[in-house]
Amino acid sequence: MDLSKLNKKFPNKRAIITGANSGVGLEILHILSQNDWQILAIDINISTLEKIDYAELQIQKIDITHRDLFKNAISDFCSINNGLDVIFNNAGVGEGVRFKDYPLENWDWIIDINLKSVIAGCYYAFAEMQKQNKGLIVNMASAAGYANLPNMSPYNVTKSGVISLSETLAHEFSPYGIQVMCVTPTFFQSNILAQSRGTSDVLASATRVVKKSKLDSKDAARIILSQLHKNKETLKFPFSAKAIYSVKQFFPKLYVWAVRKYLVK
């Protein structure tokens, strides 16, 4: 994939990817490596990353909910490479469960991963990027964050938080030349539900939806990377993500009727 426009925007080509061992994070890594980027790949599982033969790849096996470890990994990368151009706050877990069946301790778990780690990633990246008055923060959210469909409350809430955070920081960081882009796709084929703690019946239904998608992680990575040279603050894909957003915004009663009729059981 040709990233010449992105490479021109960030000629030093320095990137950090969380959740880089699989899915869209791994596919972004592959494409960036083909374009000679310096990359820090972070994941709690690095089994796939360890098999990659790329001299400019640094790997950190850490749990990003442990802030000191996350902060040090970013700081060390920036020290070695004299800064940071792009961070992909990609790590996250999916969830399919009815609200009444989800223990409160599981809420702590998913908020720590899906929301608080993104907050931390933005915080630590800003500390580095403000020194150079330039940078791009890419936060992986989901159309679930504005669709708010039933049986997904933990996922919906955390991704809604990422959307809100991204929109707020896009304003606040703009005087520093730092762009914040929030990515809100509908489901694409990935292992997003691999660590879910939800109930088996709801998870089975959600897994079928993911598997039916015509897009896979490689498609998603290519779409995301193709837009990064632009000054976009939101990226919705595929068409279904844009359709859901528009219907809910312009025809809210129709949206509620459709959800209650076809999705609430």
Residue 130, token pair as written in the block = 């403000």
Q: Which residues of 19-42 are buried (b: 16+ CB within 10 A; e: fewer)?
A: bbbbbbbbbbbebbbeeebbbbbb
Domains of the chain: 7-262 (3.40.50.720)
**Segment 205-218 mean pLDDT:** 71
Cα–chain center distance at 24? 9
pLDDT value, residue 187: 78
Q: Which helix (H) or strand (E) holds 231?
A: none
pLDDT band for 97, please (50, 70, 90 cuts).
very high
pLDDT at 1: 93
pTM above 0.75, yes or no: yes
Type and span of the H or E element at 33: helix 23-34
pLDDT by residue (tens digit) across 154-204? 999 999 999 999 999 999 999 999 999 999 999 765 566 566 666 666 665
Do residues 97 and 199 make contact, with C-beta atoms less than 8 angstroms apart?
Answer: yes
Residue with tokens 């869209």, as numbered in its chain: 24
Give 143's contacts (C-beta < 8 A, 6+ positions apart). Answer: 184, 185, 186, 236, 240, 241, 244, 245
pLDDT at residue 52 tops 80:
yes
SS3 label, residue 86: strand
**Per-position DSSP letters for 114-173, written without gaps between them:** IIIHHHHHHHHHHHHHTTTT-EEEEEE--THHHH--TTBHHHHHHHHHHHHHHHHHHHHH
50 burial level (CB within 10 Å; 0-12, 13-18, 19+)? exposed
Residue 71: both structure tokens together: 């902060």
Q: What are phi and psi of 207, to 5 degrees?
A: -65, -40
Cβ proximity of 216 and 190 under 8 Å? yes
